[in-house]
Amino acid sequence: MAQVEIESRGGDLEGVSIEGRESVVAQLDFDTGAVQLPLDQFSADAPEFTSRMTAAMETLVQRCLVERGFPGPVTIESKVSEEGRTFGAWSVSKAAAFGFAGEPERTAEDAVPRGAGYDEAFGSCLDDMRNSLRSEFSYTDAANIDRQISTAAYGLTVQSAAGKQAYEDRALCAESKGIVMDPDRISASVQYYEEAPDMQIRTATAFAECSVSTGAVQTLFDLMARYQTAMIERSAGALSEHQKKLAEISARFDAIISGAEVPE
């Protein structure tokens, strides 16, 4: 079996076997492009956790702005994304709407005119928020056991015989639709990212259709789910401690959002 070299902290992430794990599957929402994987419950990158983090960040910035005389809702750059494109475009509806680039993330509103001094106040409040959450960010940005498992599971998936076959099946389907593939035959040629939006959308939609019709995207995510499960079992102790830490951080986010914790 192919192996991925990765620094292990609290669990052996190399040489895992997924034999007998055929019942483990990823849950895919083909409309939204959302994916549910076994590692989500332990991951600082899971949508539920990142949504809570973003809400806490926005709450702190908004309270700060209100104190400076600038009321109104606040939107900051968000890590939240429903669509899981680990293996490329596969939600036909999303591809048809946004092409290969995917749905744009929310961006900061620091350029929205809200009166004299708003930009300066917004920047200052962002800095205050980052300082307030410095400890939490330091932990969630680190290469903790959840990210080690995610990286290793992805590597083993794409190196596996079944993963390579899934990619090849999709490439053949895409080429039958006239799509030029990159030499690695994993993704469509980068030339399409430079095309006019309507052309890019047509190509991305056809590519996504091949991801679904060949079963490639389901196969790839299922393989990753199985590798994750095997590694979760090997890293139970480290993951338990990591989960406790994320729960503590999440509880602080909730306190900020609810108003139970108001920074001085």
The Cα-based distances of 194 to 33, 74, 143, 198 in angstroms read: 23, 32, 33, 11
Token pair 């980052």 is at which residue? 130
In DSSP notation, 190-259 reads GGGGGS-HHHHHHHHHHHHHHHHHTSHHHHHHHHHHHHHHHHHHHTHHHHHHHHHHHHHHHHHHHHHHHT
The Cα-based distances of 37 to 42, 47, 64, 221 in angstroms read: 10, 11, 37, 8
DSSP reduced 3-state for 93 = helix
Element (H, E) at 27: strand 27-29
Of 186, 185, 177, the closest CA to residue 205 belongs to 177
Sequence length of the chain is 264
Are residues 33 and 101 in contact, defined by beta-carbon separation less than 8 angstroms? no
CA 142 to chain centre: 15
Report pLDDT for 112.
Answer: 52
Q: CA–CA separation, 113 vs 109, rounded Å?
A: 9
Q: List the chain pLDDT tens, one digit each, 264 residues.
A: 333 333 344 445 667 899 999 999 999 999 999 999 999 999 999 888 999 999 999 999 999 999 998 887 788 766 556 688 999 999 999 999 999 887 766 555 544 556 668 888 988 999 999 999 999 999 999 999 999 999 999 999 999 999 999 999 999 999 999 999 999 999 999 999 888 888 899 999 999 999 999 999 999 999 999 999 999 999 999 999 999 999 999 999 999 999 887 655
Are residues 207 and 179 in contact, defined by beta-carbon separation less than 8 angstroms? yes
